[in-house]
Amino acid sequence: MTPIARPGSRQHGVRRRFGLLLVPVLALALAAGAVACGSSDSSTTGRDVIDTLRVGVIGSTNVISGPVGFAHQRGDLVKSLKPLGVNKVEVFSFPNGPDLNQALIGGRLDVASYGDTPALVARGSGLGTRLLTINQFNNNAGVVAKDPSITSLDDLAGKKIGVPKGSYIDRYLQGALQEKGIRATLIHLYPADQEAPLSSGEIAAAALPAVIPSVSLQAFEAKGFHLVDSVYRDHPKLAGTSATVSSDEFLAKHPDFGAAWQKLNADSVRYAKAHWDDYLDFEVKNSKADPQAIRDAANPNGYSEEPFPSAGVELLRGTKEFLVAQKSIRDDFDLDGWFYRPSQSADKS
């Protein structure tokens, strides 16, 4: 198993070096309620009427990406959910999945949209969540380096690699290293914090997302860092998926929400594919990345009107099995039983 570097706690001001604060994923997930997105009166269990739907996303801006985000921009998200008492949507951004899990299970969020790995770890840690949709699948990621002598993962044996821990990028990297029997030290770094230590040599390589709207891999390549390894080129079975989940409590309180969200997702995907250029314009507008990188990374085949497309489920199942083997998932669980089905009770485990 690849050893993971776990730096100690530091003040936020020094977190831009590779020794960022790294709290174990399970501890983050189980520290319910530590992140407040509103007052205690607005928690999931305290509202009979949704009124303001609170959505958590990963990133630096409070924007929902993907076809559902495109629908929200057009006003269709609120329109679709208005019969359920939704009059407004508030979006909260988080740097990574474990932080978002805190807010979701603490009742400060109603819906969470993020990568498959933190969503699976949360469920496997005993948190009461339900998968509403697989938003996107076959997500690419890759590893870049500055040193020209590093041309493959083999050249990274014994070296430091920056990676956003607890993400689908982390799962890909650990899986790729394990496949080749390579031991490296993984340093918890968000994509925005990787360029400086990679340029200075503090880390030998950086593992980065390559899917819209997070096209960090393409951005680093444009700056002269070279590709060492990628999902699409070298490890297609390690492709990631992104997911939307909600808590059992919220779905039990609002039993019509799950089916309504799944219909919203299907309608949003159908519309985005029929207006693909307009959809890409939406993603470009909401990203600081190079517009061409966004367009090049776009993959209409990575979206499905079905809430649980078979290709996405296969990838999700492989990720869960890997996380169980790595003991990142504390208690294994039935994947199909995690999927929200309108015919099932929301609180059925």
- pLDDT tens, 153-187? 999 999 999 999 888 999 999 999 999 999 999 99
Residue-range domain boundaries for the chain? 25-139+240-338, 141-238
Report the percentage of the chain scoring pLDDT > 90: 72
Q: Are 108 and 54 in contact (CB under 8 A)?
A: yes
Q: Tokens in use for 292?
A: 């061409």
Whether the Cβ atoms of residue 266 and residue 305 lie closer than 8 Å to each other: yes
Half-sphere exposure of 178 (CA within 13 A, CB side): 15
| Largest pairwise CA distance in the chain | 61
Over residues 182-214, the pLDDT tens digits come to 999 999 999 999 999 999 999 999 999 998 888
pLDDT averaged over every residue in the chain:
86
Radius of gyration of the chain (CA): 19
Query: What is the residue type of 287?
Result: S
CB neighbours of 39 closer than 8 A, spacing ≥ 6? none
CA proximity to 78, closest of 51, 57, 45, 104: 51
Q: Quick one: average pLDDT of 47-56?
A: 94
User: How confident is the model over 93-122, as a mean pLDDT?
Assistant: 90
What contacts 275, CB < 8 A, 6 or more positions away? none
Spell out where the chain has E strands: 51-58, 86-94, 111-115, 129-139, 141-145, 160-163, 185-188, 205-209, 226-230, 240-247
pLDDT for the residue 214: 83
Q: Is the confidence at residue 131, as pLDDT, over 60?
A: yes
Rounded to whole angstroms, the Cα distance separating 136 from 248 reads 22
Quick check: 156 and 181 in contact, CB under 8 A?
Answer: no
Helix axes 97-105, 116-124, angle to 10 degrees: 50
Edge to edge, the sheet with strand 86-94 lists 86-94, 51-58, 111-115, 240-247, 129-139
Owner of token pair 């207006």: 275
Same fold flag, 25-139+240-338 and 141-238: yes
Burial 260-272 (b: 16+ CB within 10 A, else e): bbbebbbbbbebb
Q: What is the pLDDT of residue 321?
A: 94
Q: What pLDDT shows up at residue 348?
A: 46
Q: Percentage of the chain with pLDDT > 70?
A: 85
How much is the pLDDT for 21? Answer: 30
Please tell me the predicted confidence (pLDDT) of residue 305: 97
Structure-block tokens of residue 255? 């039993």
Indicate the CATH number of 141-238 among 3.40.190.10, 1.10.1200.10, 3.40.50.10490, 3.30.590.10: 3.40.190.10
Distance, in Å, from the CA atom of 233 to the CA atom of 246, rounded to the nearest integer, reads 33
Q: At what angle are helices 116-124 and 168-180 packed, to 10 degrees?
A: 90
**The two structure tokens encoding residue 94:** 């988080």
pTM for the full predicted model: 0.82
φ, ψ for residue 151, nearest 5 deg: -120, -10
Structure tokens at 254: 């609002």
* Fold category of 25-139+240-338 in CATH: D-Maltodextrin-Binding Protein; domain 2 (3.40.190)
Q: Is the pLDDT of residue 9 over 50?
A: no
Rounded Cα distance between 182 and 168, Å, is 19
